[in-house]
Copies of this chain bind each other. A is one copy, B any other.
Amino acid sequence: MPKNLINSLEWLSEPRIVCGLMTGTSLDGIDIAICSFSSAKDNHSFRLLAFNTFPFPSEIKNILKDIISRKRFIDDISLIHFALPKLFAQSIIQLCNDSSIKLTEIDAIGMHGQTVWHQPKQKEIANLRISSTSQLASGSALAKLIGIPVVYDFRAADIALGGEGAPLVPIFDYNFLKSKTENTICLNIGGISNITYLPKNCNTSDIIAFDTGPGNVWIDLIAKEFFNLDYDKNGNLARQGKVNSALLNKLKEISFVQWKPPKSTGRELFNKELLFRLINNITKFDAIATVTYFTAWSIAENIKSFLEPANRLIASGGGANNLFLMELLKKELPTINFAKSDDFGISSDAK
């Protein structure tokens, strides 16, 4: 079967090995999962063969941060667009070597690319109303460098049609986490937190999916700036502080949390500048405690305001490992049963 039939369902009728490449808004590196997929009728199943995270070289990470903070121009943006595919190719080859998978066994690569801008709210220009989203890393370049077909640019078509530009996670959640008997919330806490709501016995048209606000983005930022740590392991730092009500009230004024879904956001809004403008005269432990509480509150607030009552919540993403954050969230949502995606055979990190 020719490789260019990769976008047909027929392609999945044979067992396939697919490599997924994700680089999230937290900029913590290149997550690579290699999975085998098989399908019988409407029933897809998969097995994780290998997974690892490859950190960005600090030079690349710093330029990425600068691009997102509107400090770099097209020359550097173009450079990174072609540097990332080289890093991705090297990392895939490394993971294959480490896990004794032959590169030639991989049928396709799914590459998200590094989001550097996401503006689903329309802006007016030249009498046009335009939403936009930008992910760096040239898919054509990666395909040539590694010799495997690359599927990429997942958000543009959805954005062009007026969507929020996040069409994939809900489809995954639907295929692998829906329940016949329980209203299910799939919560992914990456840099930003997002929810897929799957009413019991639902079909695809019943899916509700949106971003709730911050995930780890601000917690990581305080860990880095005040504690010189990459993240707050298990939430142990936040646990030592007290919620500062003045700061919390200011955070609660960020209107995104109250917006009606569908909605999506990113580092354009939840950035360093906004956070440090709000933080004043407060200990570093109280700062991380307050921001962790706000993160839990903003997730819970969205669930209470915009969803029908749910029986269970399935958490994934780096934030699912923050025990203190998860405790706070459980307190806010006492009637919901909590689980991790790992309980369903889906690695919370590799998801």
User: Hey, which chain B residues are within 8 Å of A119, CB to CB?
Assistant: 75, 78-79
User: Hey, which chain B residues are within 8 Å of A157, CB to CB?
Assistant: 140-141, 143-144
Are B126 and A75 in touch, CB under 8 angstroms? Answer: no
User: Hey, which chain B residues are within 8 Å of A77, CB to CB?
Assistant: 74, 77, 117, 134
> A140: nearest residue on chain B (CB-CB)?
B156
Partner of A57, one of B67, B70, B126: B126
Are A159 and B117 in touch, CB under 8 angstroms? Answer: no
If the complex has contacts A73-B71, A78-B117, are A160 and B85 also in contact, measured as CB distance less than 8 A?
Answer: yes
For the complex, what is the distance from the CA of A23 to the CA of B34, rounded to whole Å? 39
Query: Looking at the complex, which of A2-10, A183-191, A228-236, A274-282 is the stretch in contact with chain B?
Result: A2-10
Are B140 and A160 in touch, CB under 8 angstroms? Answer: yes
> A133: nearest residue on chain B (CB-CB)?
B78
The answer to whether the Cβ of A16 comes within 8 Å of any Cβ in the partner chain is no
The answer to whether the Cβ of A59 comes within 8 Å of any Cβ in the partner chain is yes
For the complex, what is the distance from the CA of A5 to the CA of B130, rounded to whole Å? 31
The answer to whether the Cβ of A40 comes within 8 Å of any Cβ in the partner chain is no
How many copies are assembled? 2
Are A128 and B161 in touch, CB under 8 angstroms? Answer: no
The answer to whether the Cβ of A330 comes within 8 Å of any Cβ in the partner chain is no
> A158: nearest residue on chain B (CB-CB)?
B144
> A142: nearest residue on chain B (CB-CB)?
B160
Q: Mark A1-36, 1 if CB is under 8 A from B, else 0.
A: 010110110000000000000000000000000000
For the complex, what is the distance from the CA of A78 to the CA of B71, rounded to whole Å? 15
For the complex, what is the distance from the CA of A79 to the CA of B116, rounded to whole Å? 12
Are A75 and B83 in touch, CB under 8 angstroms? Answer: no
The answer to whether the Cβ of A286 comes within 8 Å of any Cβ in the partner chain is no
Closest-CB distance, A126 to chain B (whole angstroms): 4
User: Hey, which chain B residues are within 8 Å of A200, CB to CB?
Assistant: none
Are B59 and A126 in touch, CB under 8 angstroms? Answer: yes
User: Hey, which chain B residues are within 8 Å of A37, CB to CB?
Assistant: none
Are A126 and B74 in touch, CB under 8 angstroms? Answer: no
Closest-CB distance, A65 to chain B (whole angstroms): 12
Q: Mark A41-81, 1 if CB is under 8 A from B, else 0.
A: 00000000000000001011001000110111111011101
The answer to whether the Cβ of A131 comes within 8 Å of any Cβ in the partner chain is yes
For the complex, what is the distance from the CA of A159 to the CA of B145, rounded to whole Å? 11
The answer to whether the Cβ of A153 comes within 8 Å of any Cβ in the partner chain is yes
Within 8 A of B (CB), among A105-130: 116-117, 119, 123, 125-128, 130
The answer to whether the Cβ of A322 comes within 8 Å of any Cβ in the partner chain is no
Within 8 A of B (CB), among A242-270: 268
The answer to whether the Cβ of A311 comes within 8 Å of any Cβ in the partner chain is no
The answer to whether the Cβ of A321 comes within 8 Å of any Cβ in the partner chain is no
For the complex, what is the distance from the CA of A159 to the CA of B128, rounded to whole Å? 33
Query: Known pairs A82-B159, A142-B160. 19 more at Cβ < 8 A?
Result: A4-B5, A60-B125, A67-B74, A70-B73, A71-B73, A72-B73, A73-B73, A75-B117, A79-B123, A79-B130, A83-B126, A83-B130, A140-B160, A141-B157, A141-B159, A143-B157, A144-B157, A144-B161, A145-B160
- A interface residues, Cβ below 8 angstroms from B: 2, 4-5, 7-8, 57, 59-60, 63, 67-68, 70-75, 77-79, 81-83, 85-87, 116-117, 119, 123, 125-128, 130-134, 138, 140-145, 153, 156-157, 159-161, 268
